[in-house]
Chains A and B, each alone.
Chain A
Amino acid sequence: MRKENTPDEEKDEAHLARRKFLKQSTALTAIAFATPALVSAANNNLDEKAAGYFEKVALKLEVNGKPYNLSVEPRVTLLDLLREQLHLTGSKKGCDYGQCGACTVHVDGKRVLSCMSLAVMQDGKKVTTIEGLSTGDELHPMQEAFIKHDGFQCGYCTPGQIMSGIACIREGHASTEDDIRQNMSGNICRCGAYPNIVAAIKEVKEKGATI
């Protein structure tokens, strides 16, 4: 079974000792018993199939205009790829189950939930995150509108709201305030900045710039 020991672990005796300690104490008290079926057959097949399980798959994608050639485990979500591997922490994890919209990014121009997207399935696609909106000091009109209208408080849902707001206008779903509200309902804001978010989107729509 392929085990991922880091070089540090090999060298660090104290660390090895700790690991032995951890394993030993659980071995003393562990009891093998039939479990309610919590985990799949993967558990039973672990030793034999393990080699197959931890393979990575090649992934080519563009993020904010920059091409990446990566190798990722299929189970990695686009959100975790962005945040943990590419260190683009602008896209946020609010729930990880597709229930809050904080992770909204654009994939090939469409707004989607990155926490529900497997990274490997984005092969060949163009991803835009909040970090990709502004160039240097120049902010995107939606970002400026959010600042002007105070469209945020804690700021955590903000990147998702902005990405969603831009898409909402592009989709043609920002003709009225009610339209905006209905079509932004996939982005939850617990701080309650909704009225200001709507005002910001409305202003950007009315200014008519191509966004």
Chain B
Amino acid sequence: MGNFFFDEAFIDGPDRVDGKAKVTGAAKYAAEYELSGLTYGVLIHSTIARGSIKAIDSKSAEKAPGVLGVISHLNSIKVPGYDMSVNPGQGPAGGKGLQVFNDAFVRFYGQPIALVIADTFERAVFGASLVKFQYSREQHLTDFEEAKKTVAPVAGARYNDFVKGEKDAYKTAAVKIEAEYIMPNEVHNPMELHSIIAQWKGDDKVMVYDKTQGVKSSQRSIMQAFKLPEENVQVISKFVGGGFGSALRTWPHVIAALIGAKLIGKPVKLVLDRQQMFTMVGYRPFTVQRIGIGATADGKLTGITHEADSITSSYEEFTERTVNVSRGLYACPNVTTRYKVYPLNLSTPTWMRGPGEATGAFAVESAIDELSYALKIDPIELRLINYAETDQDANRPFSSKFLKEAYQLGAERIGWKNRNPVVGSMKEGDWMVGYGIGSGMFNASRGTAKALARIYADGSLLVQSAVSDSGPGTATAMTQIASAVMGVPFKKTTFELGDSSLPPGPTQGGSTTTSTLGSAVNDVCLSLKKKLFELAKDNPVFHTATIHNVALNDLLFENGSIFLKADRSKKVTYSDILNKAGLSQLEITEESKGGEDARKYSSYSYSVHFVKVLVHPATGVVKLDRIVTVVDAGKIISHKTAESQMFGGAVAGIGMALMEEGVIDHRYGKWVNNNLADYHVPVHADVPAIECILVDKPDPIINPIGAKGMGEVSIVGFAAAVANAVYHATGKRVRDLPITPDKLI
């Protein structure tokens, strides 16, 4: 375990290594590769929510100029990995993703049911518009309220009640709050439309340019679907235009493109359109939560009950750790949680930034705020009174927890003490002013990853791993770590990613990349250092009259040279070492995984968000006037990209709090606002200057670099901060997101 990050200086906050590519348009995303013979595929989606396809008339489409084929369940190939036992009569089961073109059944409005391939994009689109479908329609169910009354929730052990201590203990508390909170459907809507270019090289070898947050998991899905060996499937994903969880798994359009390419015998480029981004790549599911929280008169929590009812598709089971926040965020002797999921005729939800925790934290952090008013105790004070010093859920110590520091730093920065705590008491001109706080936690962990490190005779360093970067800045952080550990100048260090043929890296999700891959990079560079040492140790420059054996600890690796600690004039460059050994390069590939030590601890990242809002009493418009967002994510590798991540979480939090809601018209089972004009995500004018505080204290246990991850915790708790601020400003408690003007007038 190296301690260098705690001790040594390294370039902090360098410009992103891929910055130039991004600002010049040179960065290539999935749909942007030129291939000879490339054709264009356009997916057609169903316009009923449940039933089956009786007939398809594609005559006109096939006759249309440039159309090379129309593929549907009628003529698709047999996909070797498909589970042929799957049928709509079964209930939803885990891991049973939609098998595209496998049968005539329609399971949701917006399901991919045909693929038109043509020689130009316009011809494919036009061809698609000509295909007619005749459906046999069945009664669909997309309304949660209806489902709750008429169908059973999904069964299974994971839905058993959890009880620690006394069940529903809050009911007998001196002071208690009972409330219901609603999180609507939210849609990731990354800027890049999900795309794929699929190319078969022969019958059993395939290359895809994919939009994925995990080139290895994408590779595995394709291997499994077509029963191909690993060396026959290559997935390239060098630049990813945002994922937020929507690119963590392989969706039907990927398999559709591969089917198309196989049938047509040419590479197929398939780009989803924005409407399809609502039904084909998942979404954060609608959830109704009931919180009961009780405390003694002086604020000590006596019981939390957290119930959550959510939804999944009729064919696949999706769950989130929505109620887990209540088990860990505060110290409370009695915790009861209940979680149910109802099947609907919609596509399967998926993980979306802070999955589970973001939804759960909105409820818990609003409830604890409501409790603070009932108790007449300051909201921060109440949280401190119930601060969990150890993980009471798993009965383990935390590897690190600097949440107290985070509360303190943020409160100071926003001037929490200067606010008037009385509800509705603050005004600026016509606007009512409110301050709110919301807190979050998200699991920090370290997975397994492999990395390759190679030093060249010119002294430059290359590190590789099959990971992709959808924006957090992985390449930059890894370059920093490699450069620091290996002692090679930043500008001579390169990190390569985005190719499944590289040593297997982790999927970029769950806020584990820096921890997992950073550790792997750290470890492989340490090993490479050792290898270099083996070549260098016999070099006479390190010998004195008395010392003929130099040990690793006697040496410093810095700036492309090895120095004797005792006498820095005794040095040799990496270049010279390699040249002397007659090598053009020296490399090592290593797998890195968490040790047993880490498993004795619980590891979480923590965030605290402070916001100041302005609310117009007549129009109900809410403006974010100030944002102070604080995070304990362990050691910060790059302040620049870390801040950007926190900004990202805050902006997503603004969306969640004030405007995002995927609306379904249950008469048709279809998404009504499935475009970027009607589904509102924050624009420039919604976002003030954001102040970000990084606690930046290393976690000594979780991994050698001390970093915990922050991509998800950056959003967790933010919406509650806004809802709490709106309450402080107006006396109106909004429990169903988003907080739009109509809810405040």
Contacts and interface: CB of A to CB of B under 8 A. Distances in A.
A46 B65 CA distance: 10
B66 A147 contact: no
Interface stretch (B93-101, B470-478, B518-526): B470-478
A133 B24 contact: yes
B689 A177 contact: yes
A88 B25 contact: yes
A195 B68 contact: no
A92 B687 contact: no
Nearest to B190: A190
Nearest to A142: B23
| Cβ-closest 6 pairs across A and B | A90-B25, A192-B651, A156-B241, A155-B22, A153-B471, A154-B471
A31 B133 CA distance: 9
A146 B74 CA distance: 50
Contacts of B62: 22-23, 26
B189 interface: yes
A76 B120 CA distance: 10
Contacts of B63: 1, 46
Contacts of B34: 87
Contact of B74 (A26, A38, A177): A26
**Most chain B beta carbons < 10 A, residue from A12, A139, A185, A195:** A195
A31 to B, nearest CB: 5
A187 interface: yes
Contacts of A125: none
B191 A185 contact: no
Contacts of B192: 92, 94, 154, 156
Interface residues of B, number: 87
Nearest to B646: A192
B683 interface: yes
Contacts of B120: 84
Contact of A153 (B129, B193, B263, B472): B472
Interface string A79-93: 010011001111111
Interface string A35-49: 100110001001000
Given A12-B265, A102-B191, A193-B644, A76 B273 contact: no
20 contacts: A1-B65, A4-B65, A12-B265, A23-B62, A32-B57, A35-B132, A43-B130, A46-B60, A95-B193, A130-B23, A139-B24, A154-B242, A155-B21, A156-B191, A181-B685, A189-B651, A190-B188, A192-B647, A194-B647, A194-B684
Contacts of A93: 31, 193, 271
A75 B190 CA distance: 27
Contact of B26 (A6, A90, A95, A192): A90
Contact of B274 (A3, A87, A96): A96
Contacts of B675: 95, 97, 99
Interface string A110-154: 000000000000000000011101100001000100111010111
B655 to A, nearest CB: 9
Contacts of A186: 683
A181 B689 CA distance: 10
Interface string B263-291: 11100000101100000000000000000
Interface in A7-24: 8, 12, 14-15, 18-19, 21-23
Contacts of A194: 647, 651, 682, 684, 687
Size category of the A interface is 35 or more
Interface string B704-716: 0000000000000
B25 A130 contact: yes
B648 interface: yes
B16 interface: yes
Contact of A131 (B24, B243, B651): B24
Interface string B201-241: 00000000000000000000000000000000000000111
B479 interface: no
Given A14-B265, A97-B274, A154-B242, A25 B191 contact: no
B648 A153 contact: yes
A62 interface: no
A182 interface: yes
B18 interface: yes
Contacts of A156: 29, 190-192, 241-242
B74 A25 contact: yes
A206 to B, nearest CB: 16
Given A26-B74, A97-B676, A196 B191 contact: no
B684 A198 contact: yes
A211 B473 CA distance: 29
A62 B273 CA distance: 29
B24 A90 contact: yes
B59 A26 contact: yes
B341 to A, nearest CB: 27
B263 A99 contact: no
A188 B690 CA distance: 17
B263 A89 contact: no
B353 to A, nearest CB: 10
A14 B651 CA distance: 53
A154 B55 contact: no
Interface in B1-45: 15-16, 18-29, 31-32, 34, 37
B122 A80 contact: yes
A129 B25 contact: yes
Given A26-B59, A97-B675, A18 B263 contact: yes
Given A8-B37, A31-B55, A150 B676 contact: no
A192 B23 contact: no
B667 interface: no
Nearest to B641: A150
Contacts of B122: 73, 75-76, 80
Contacts of B472: 153
A208 to B, nearest CB: 21
Given A6-B119, A30-B57, A153-B473, A190 B242 contact: yes
Interface string B50-88: 000001111110111110111100110000000000000
Contacts of A33: 55, 57, 132, 134
B640 interface: yes
Given A94-B191, A180-B684, A188-B676, 15 more contacts: A18-B263, A35-B132, A76-B122, A84-B120, A94-B274, A134-B24, A150-B643, A153-B471, A153-B473, A156-B190, A156-B242, A187-B683, A189-B651, A191-B644, A195-B690
B15 A148 contact: yes
Given A18-B265, A99-B676, A143-B24, A154 B274 contact: no
Contacts of B65: 1-4, 50, 53-54
A197 interface: yes
A19 B57 contact: no
B668 interface: no
A21 B70 CA distance: 11
Nearest to A100: B676
B121 interface: yes
A155 B18 contact: yes
A39 B242 contact: no
A141 B274 CA distance: 33
A162 B25 CA distance: 10
Contacts of A80: 121-122
